[in-house]
Amino acid sequence: MTTYAFRMQLKPGVVDEYRQRHDEIWPELSAAIRAAGVYDYSIFLDEETLALFAVLKLRPDHRRDELPLQPVMQRWWDFMAPLMEVEPGNRPREWPLVPLFHLP
């Protein structure tokens, strides 16, 4: 198992919309994420800075790097782009987080 954590950034005034869109996540997107070997995925919000902190748990045979090639992933990024900082192609900007401590 591998754990991967990263930060993303919301734009002001969109927290409720961001939460609603994730509450209604598309079943085909959930299926693609699971098929890529992600078996646990959480996103946390720092309400003061609007930073999002994501934590993924990946199976040993994961194919997370293939997700950006999936049409459903690209449609989701287009759908979410107005709410957050993005790269060209609407992929959310990610800042990897360095693990410093883990208590199993």
Residue of 19, 22, 63, 93 with catalytic role: 22
Instruction: Determine which helix (DSSP H) or strand (DSSP E) holds 22, and give its type and residue range.
Output: helix 15-23
Domains of the chain in sequence order: 2-96 (3.30.70.100)
Note the pLDDT of residue 1: 81
Please write the tens of the pLDDT for every residue from 49-74.
Answer: 999 999 999 999 999 999 999 999 99
Region 66-90: mean pLDDT is 97
Report d(CA 32, CA 73) in Å as an integer. Answer: 8
pTM: 0.92
22 is an active site residue: yes
Contacts of 85 (CB under 8 A, 6+ apart): 8, 9, 10, 11, 92, 93
**Percent of the chain whose pLDDT exceeds 70:** 100
